[in-house]
């Protein structure tokens, strides 16, 4: 079983299939999930489904071009490695969203749409208000709340169901990876493809995740703080460590806001137990401090020094705020 088989069993496949057969393909779909990599995979499956004349045969020219990312009618933003869709991108989309007579659909895949600044989102809104025939926008988001309501209301919203551990296990077995994934690893993903990809790309991800959670759940006094600094500083990629610390802060904020769309439900009960120890104000301050720490690392500051300052700050803020 690969991602395409999983997709064909999904709620998304059924919905698009129905829209195609009813001649009701929407000009914009908002795909929502906490699993970004799953959204990305599914968006390509949707593109195949719309363009293929044979229910995603995976052998026709359209399917193969989508597969290889070379289809001229399937365009992905943000381009390059920038994490955000910029106003210039939106202008480019507006001017390029013209459909020639030979084109079945022109499909725009807009990743991380929630990170698009409101100004650019507003520009994009105009395009949604006056849709061009046969242009389909796939807006992918892990945080629907950061998408302008006016945009959400003009899209057909699809809550993408998470994968089961069994489905993810099948996908993992199909991937050619250099590391052997244990069943424990797979259980730790909670069916999240993004987490699985991180484990494959970064085999220490599972221990890193646990150690970043420990900072918030187990670190109580400044006298044992150095153990935690040591545990985190052994990772080569300190930016990855800081990003994971930030994920834990976001998870705690989600719990406090009673929104359980959290990134790794494996630690849900641990985090729920300590959420009361941190005020929302304290968590927001910690998030800012993490941002500051990321800048320091990017400016080549010593990792131990930065982690030391950050963990001390976490302890201080927890008691003071
Ligand atoms: Zn095909």
Q: Does domain 3-159 have CATH number 3.30.930.10?
A: no
Identify any residues that bridge with 110 across adjacent strands, giving them in sequence order.
77, 139
DSSP 181: P
Q: If you average pLDDT over residues 240-262, what whole number do you get?
A: 84
Nearest Cα to Cα of residue 146 among 116, 120, 123, 114: 114
Rounded distance from Cα 99 to ligand 1 centre (Å): 20
Rounded distance from Cα 293 to ligand 1 centre (Å): 48
Q: How far is residue 215 CA from its own chain's centroid?
A: 23
Q: If you average pLDDT over residues 16-37, what whole number do you get?
A: 96
**Position 181 pLDDT exceeds 80:** no
Rounded distance from Cα 135 to ligand 1 centre (Å): 19
What's the CA gap between 44 and 65, in Å, rounded? 10
Nearest Cα to Cα of residue 264 among 112, 162, 145: 162
Rounded distance from Cα 4 to ligand 1 centre (Å): 12
**Position 99 pLDDT exceeds 80:** no
Rounded distance from Cα 104 to ligand 1 centre (Å): 13
Rounded distance from Cα 82 to ligand 1 centre (Å): 31
At 179, the pLDDT band (50, 70, 90 cuts) reads low
For 21-34, give one letter per residue: b (16+ CB within 10 A) or e: eeeebbbbbbbbbb
Rounded distance from Cα 18 to ligand 1 centre (Å): 18
Rounded distance from Cα 26 to ligand 1 centre (Å): 21
**Position 247 pLDDT exceeds 60:** yes
Rounded distance from Cα 193 to ligand 1 centre (Å): 25
Rounded distance from Cα 181 to ligand 1 centre (Å): 32
Rounded distance from Cα 261 to ligand 1 centre (Å): 34
Structure-model confidence comparison of residues 188 and 14, the more confident one? 14
Rounded distance from Cα 60 to ligand 1 centre (Å): 4
247 — phi, psi (to 5°)?
A: -60, -40
Domain boundaries, given as residue ranges, for the chain: 3-159, 204-320
Rounded distance from Cα 103 to ligand 1 centre (Å): 15
Rounded distance from Cα 234 to ligand 1 centre (Å): 47
Percent of the chain residues topping a pLDDT of 90:
65
Say whether the peptide bond before residue 184 is cis (omega within 30 degrees of 0): no
Rounded distance from Cα 48 to ligand 1 centre (Å): 7
Rounded distance from Cα 49 to ligand 1 centre (Å): 8
Rounded distance from Cα 5 to ligand 1 centre (Å): 14
- What residues have a C-beta under 5 A from ligand 1, the ion? 52, 57, 60, 63
Rounded distance from Cα 52 to ligand 1 centre (Å): 4
Rounded distance from Cα 307 to ligand 1 centre (Å): 51
Kindly report which listed range (56-70, 99-113, 175-189, 275-289) carries the lowest average pLDDT score.
175-189
What's the CA gap between 316 and 181, in Å, rounded? 39
CB count in 10 Å sphere of residue 131:
15
Q: If you average pLDDT over residues 71-83, what whole number do you get?
A: 85
Q: Kindly report the pTM of this predicted structure.
A: 0.78
Specify the fold of 204-320.
Zinc Finger, Delta Prime; domain 3 (1.20.272)
At 198, the pLDDT band (50, 70, 90 cuts) reads confident
Rounded distance from Cα 57 to ligand 1 centre (Å): 4
Rounded distance from Cα 65 to ligand 1 centre (Å): 10
Rounded distance from Cα 83 to ligand 1 centre (Å): 30
SS3 state of residue 7: helix
Kindly report which listed range (12-26, 36-50, 226-240) carries the lowest average pLDDT score.
226-240
Kindly report which listed range (88-102, 232-246, 285-299) carries the lowest average pLDDT score.
88-102
At 264, the pLDDT band (50, 70, 90 cuts) reads low
């Amino acid at each position: 079983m690969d991602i395409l088989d999983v997709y064909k069993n999904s709620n998304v496949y059924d919905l698009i299939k129905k829209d195609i057969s009813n001649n009701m393909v929407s000009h914009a779909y908002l795909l929502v999930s906490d699993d970004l990599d799953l959204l990305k995979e599914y968006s390509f499956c949707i593109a195949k489904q719309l363009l293929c004349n044979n229910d995603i045969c995976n052998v026709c020219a359209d399917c193969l071009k989508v597969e290889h990312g070379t289809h001229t009618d399937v365009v992905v933003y943000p381009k390059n490695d920038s994490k955000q869709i910029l106003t210039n991108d939106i202008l480019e989309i507006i001017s390029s969203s013209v459909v020639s007579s030979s084109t079945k659909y022109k499909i725009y895949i807009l990743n991380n749409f929630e990170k698009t600044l409101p100004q650019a989102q507003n520009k994009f809104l105009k395009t949604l208000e006056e849709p061009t025939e046969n242009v389909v926008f796939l807006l992918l988001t892990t945080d629907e709340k950061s998408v302008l309501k006016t945009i959400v209301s003009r899209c057909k919203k699809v809550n993408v169901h998470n994968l089961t551990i069994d489905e993810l296990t099948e996908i993992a077995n199909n991937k050619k990876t250099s590391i052997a994934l244990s069943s424990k690893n797979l259980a730790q993903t909670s069916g999240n493809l993004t987490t699985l990809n991180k484990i494959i790309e970064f085999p220490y991800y599972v221990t890193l995740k646990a150690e970043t959670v420990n900072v918030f759940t187990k670190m109580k006094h400044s006298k044992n703080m150095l153990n935690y600094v040591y545990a985190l500083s052994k990772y080569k990629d300190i930016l990855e460590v800081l990003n994971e610390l930030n994920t834990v802060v976001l998870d705690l904020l989600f719990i406090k806001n009673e929104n359980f769309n959290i990134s790794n439900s494996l630690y849900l009960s641990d985090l729920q137990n300590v959420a009361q120890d941190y005020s929302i104000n304290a968590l927001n301050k910690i998030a800012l401090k993490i941002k500051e720490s990321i800048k320091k690392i990017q400016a080549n500051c010593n990792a131990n020094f930065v982690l030391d300052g950050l963990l001390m700050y976490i302890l201080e803020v927890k008691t003071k705020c």
